[in-house]
Structure 1
Amino acid sequence: MFGTFTRNAEIDSRKRLQCNECRRQTIHTLEAQCVGRWHEEHRFGAIYGWTEFSLYRCGACDEVCFEKKSYFSEQYDNDDDGTIRLIPDEVQYPPPSSADFAFNTEYTPADLNELIEEMLYALAGSKLKLATVALRMVVEFIVNDTKCAGRGLQKKIEDLHTKGHVDEVQLALLHKIREKGNAGAHERIAMSRNEMVAGIGLVNLLLERLYNGPARQADVIKKANHAFKS
């Protein structure tokens, strides 16, 4: 529960956000903002945090979106010079979307859909390091969910090829996603936006081959069997 909740009267801020109406990133103006703060004392010290509730308006089309940004004293990172920087959890409503990075999740597992949504949100917010790692996690989820054999992601991706789900070119590209995902996690090296969009296209092929295509085929056959029996 917040200890204080106040409205910021003096606001003059703009930021680049994904606009669902424009279907691209545009400059948004901050129109209103409230901040809730909390503080708790414990035996080993105090913890604290705050949440910013912000209303933004797109500068290109006037569409409005809402952003919630939460900070917690125990969720932080260190800059290169050693300065502590709190890492916020950010959520945008409605969730950002784009024609450039979209998945067909018609028949995919709910846990995979949740992971994909988190990755797309990171990408829409230009958090390319997080999106890079998340794309690797999406590939890892798929090979695990489809029971690919092998120890480690490299071997499991190879098994996708062995089973005939990807060709040689797709195999090499999936290894690129794995390698760049590793670099994102361990060295904080992000894919470019173009690389992310290309990787998403490749994963979409996997979703079609392993989930959506077979499920649609099963539906068609089921309906056909029912029709010809009647």
Structure 2
Amino acid sequence: MFDTFLRKEELNQRKQLQCSDCRRATIHTLEAQCVGETKEDVGHGDTVYGGVEFSLYRCGACDAVCFEQSSWFSEDWDHDEEGNVILNRTEVQYPPPSSADFAFDTDYTPSDLDELIDEMIYALAGSKLKLATVALRMVVEFIVTDKNCAGGNLEKKINDLQAKGHVDQEQLDLLHTIRKKGNAGAHERIAMNRKEMVAGVSIINLLLEKLYNGPARQAAVIKKAKQAFKVADKQ
């Protein structure tokens, strides 16, 4: 429960957000905003505090409206490039941001993989490149594990993916690049840039088509054809 909950009256903020209708980053105007805050005395004169900012934005290109929730907590902080203490914020946008640059065909992929891909796309669309970098590596790891690739680590499992005939040498090298950059993102907080992420997404799309969507579509077409010919023979 919030200790205070206020509606802001004078709004003049503009912000670049990914528009789900335009499918690109556009300037949005803040139309309404409420802020809820909490404070708690934890003893010895210390106080922790946090809050949630609820904002309604309108796209300047198409007038589509989106909702953004931004939360923070006094114990979750970091330093900016100049060494100043800043509070980390967790931002969630609805409808989820989308882009033509990283659309996925997930018609026949496992639901757990779909969820992971959605989180990666959301991070990428929101320019959370460190999170997106790590998530891209996690997608690769999910796929090689789901396809029962042998090996005690991701490097060996990716190599086994080639041994099973699922990828060629060029794709193998690119998957290892994704693995290495994902490791750097997880351990050193070094993010891929947007161009690298979009390139990585294209490689994942090839895997999804080869391992999930293509075989499933082929099986569905063959099944339908067999049924059609069987009916025709009976007639």
In structure 1, runs of 5+ residues without a counterpart are none
Corresponding letter in the other structure for 2:121: L
Looking at structure 2, the residues matched to 40 and 107 of structure 1 have their Cα atoms a distance apart, in angstroms, of 48
Partner of residue 193, structure 1: 194
In structure 2, the residue corresponding to 1:87 is in which secondary structure? strand
Partner of residue 9, structure 2: 9
Shift of 1:48: 3.2
Shift of 1:52: 0.8
Shift of 1:43: 7.3
Corresponding letter in the other structure for 1:153: L
Taking the TM superposition and a 5 Å limit, the aligned residue runs for 1:1-230 are 1-41=1-41, 47-79=48-80, 83-230=84-231
Higher alpha-carbon deviation: 174-183 or 64-73: 64-73
Q: How many residues align?
A: 230
Corresponding letter in the other structure for 2:178: I
Looking at structure 1, the residues matched to 110 and 38 of structure 2 have their Cα atoms a distance apart, in angstroms, of 37
Corresponding letter in the other structure for 1:98: S
TM-score scaled by length of structure 2? 0.90
In structure 1, the residue corresponding to 2:103 is in which secondary structure? coil
Looking at structure 2, the residues matched to 77 and 107 of structure 1 have their Cα atoms a distance apart, in angstroms, of 41
In structure 2, the residue corresponding to 1:104 is in which secondary structure? coil
TM-score scaled by length of structure 1? 0.92
Whose Rg is larger? Answer: 2
Looking at structure 2, the residues matched to 16 and 59 of structure 1 have their Cα atoms a distance apart, in angstroms, of 10
Higher alpha-carbon deviation: 191-200 or 75-84: 75-84
Question: Per-residue CA shift, 1:170-193, capped at 9, x if unaligned?
Answer: 001111111111111222221111
Looking at structure 2, the residues matched to 21 and 161 of structure 1 have their Cα atoms a distance apart, in angstroms, of 39
Shift of 1:103: 0.7
Corresponding letter in the other structure for 1:18: Q
Looking at structure 2, the residues matched to 25 and 116 of structure 1 have their Cα atoms a distance apart, in angstroms, of 20
Shift of 1:40: 4.1
Looking at structure 1, the residues matched to 75 and 220 of structure 2 have their Cα atoms a distance apart, in angstroms, of 49
Looking at structure 1, the residues matched to 168 and 146 of structure 2 have their Cα atoms a distance apart, in angstroms, of 20
